[in-house]
Amino acid sequence: MTANIMNKGLLIVVSGPAGSGKGTVNAHLLNSGEFVYSVSATTRAPRPGEIDGINYHFITKDEFKSRIERGDMLEYTEYCGNFYGTPKKEAEDVLASGKNLILEIEVEGAQNIKKKYPDAVLVLLLPPSYSVQEARLRGRGTETEEKIRLRLERAKEEIAFANVYDYVVYNRDGLDREAAEEIRAIVTAEKSSVSRNPHIAENYLNN
């Protein structure tokens, strides 16, 4: 991905722990038409109702490994014996079209993206506080106490890496549209930043 492509659309990483409401916030961004969500590739089997090319690109392990070798993955991770990753070509096409690409990945993937693409914008979406997060997870009533504890422990670990990110956005109860607007504002600001626009004077004087 060249600097030229990065100048068109923005590569935005949105990470958020369980209970941050990441899915809802990202859905608002997609509905605005200025953002595209990256469809990940995975080697795990489709679950009932999942559609190839919509929920995931379902591919074999051999295919995934050869894509890694060819450098065709923007980032990838292994989890419970399966690979998950972002196809590079698809990401490049989105950015070249001028749309902003959202990657919904965890803190480790976010760090890898920032190393490879310093121009990427890293946003950490958080519940307003740990106590609200806990209340949200328990309020779902769908998970075992053990799973809730694991998720909360994981969230504590993740927040220690907050300084990896460029921005923190809090998703307050019932204010997920506002959180999405805040992410849109971040994108607007980043596109106006002098550091992303190196030829201000030349462009201005020649037009």
Summarize as ranges the residues that interact with its own copies (CB under 8 A): 124, 126, 128-132, 156, 159-160, 162-163, 165-169, 182, 184-186, 188-190, 192-194, 197, 200-201, 203-207
Q: In terms of CB distance, is 95 or 169 closer to its own copies?
A: 169
Q: In terms of CB distance, is 54 or 205 closer to its own copies?
A: 205
Residue 189 main-chain phi, psi, to 5 deg: -60, -45
Please state the closest distance from residue 204 (CB atom) to its own copies, in A: 6
Describe the crossing of helices 176-192 and 22-31 by its angle, rounded to 10 degrees.
60
Q: In terms of CB distance, is 3 or 205 closer to its own copies?
A: 205
Please state the closest distance from residue 1 (CB atom) to its own copies, in A: 23
Sign of CA dihedral 75, 159, 24, 171: negative
The C-alpha atoms of residue 21 and residue 37 are separated, in whole angstroms, by 16
Integer distance in angstroms from the first to the last C-alpha of the chain? 28
Interacting residues of 136 by C-beta distance below 8 A, sequence separation 6+: 19, 21, 127
The C-alpha atoms of residue 183 and residue 147 are separated, in whole angstroms, by 30
Q: In terms of CB distance, is 20 or 40 closer to its own copies?
A: 20
Please state the closest distance from residue 183 (CB atom) to its own copies, in A: 9
Please state the closest distance from residue 147 (CB atom) to its own copies, in A: 20
Please state the closest distance from residue 132 (CB atom) to its own copies, in A: 8
One-letter identity of residue 198: P
Q: In terms of CB distance, is 78 or 157 closer to its own copies?
A: 157
User: Residue 52's beta-bridge partner residues?
Assistant: 56
